[in-house]
Amino acid sequence: APDSPPQVKHIKMQTIRASAAARSVRPASRVVKAQASLQKVAQVAGVAVSSFALTLAAHADVTVKLGADSGALVFEPANFTVKAGEAINFTNNAGFPHNVVFDEDEVPAGVNADAISRDDLLNAPGETFTVKLTTPGTYGYYCEPHQGAGMVGKITVQ
């Protein structure tokens, strides 16, 4: 009001500013709440997807590359753990020929290393040898032609 004392004008302006500030804060708080809710949904979804992937991985067959993509004479992975009876697929990848020989001195007692080995060479790209180990314990294995180059590994069966 034009004839209001200066103190009243000052109070009215502060009220108008406070009211405008309050209006501008309300939508922002709703946005923050919505973002927080979306983050929670994303976190829960991420946990669910991760759990599902771990469950699949726990029940999936294992594939071991014979020779690294770089051409190195190694098993990839060389050392790993499987559940008893899970299929292990050894697949020719690079630097072949390869084979998979289980060391008779590095298998659980009572396991016939010759029966689970593949002495014949895998010569073609992608050629696969599959084995299922059913006795829990540690199994040492190697590629006969490349053992001296360090192509060795260990499998732990649970």
Is the model's pLDDT at 88 over the cut of 50?
A: yes
Q: What is the pTM of this model?
A: 0.63
**pLDDT recorded at residue 39:** 57
Task: Over range 133-155, report the average pLDDT.
Answer: 98
Of 95, 63, 85, 83, the closest CA to residue 132 belongs to 85
DSSP summary character for residue 146: G
| Separation CA 62–CA 80 (nearest Å) | 9
Q: Tell me the pLDDT band of 30, cut-offs 50, 70 and 90.
A: low
Q: Catalytic residue positions?
A: 98, 143, 146, 151
**pLDDT recorded at residue 85:** 97
3-state secondary structure of 22: helix
What integer best gives the mean pLDDT of the chain? Answer: 79
Task: Over range 47-66, report the average pLDDT.
Answer: 60
Q: Tell me the pLDDT band of 33, cut-offs 50, 70 and 90.
A: low
Task: Over range 110-134, report the average pLDDT.
Answer: 97
pLDDT-above-90 percentage for the chain? 61
Pairwise pLDDT comparison (145 vs 41), residue with the higher score: 145
Please give the distance of CA 30 from its chain centroid, rounded to a whole number: 37
Q: Please report, as a single letter, which amino acid is at residue 13.
A: M
Q: Tell me the pLDDT band of 135, cut-offs 50, 70 and 90.
A: very high
Q: How many CB atoms lie within 10 A of CB 83?
A: 13
Task: Over range 138-143, report the average pLDDT.
Answer: 98
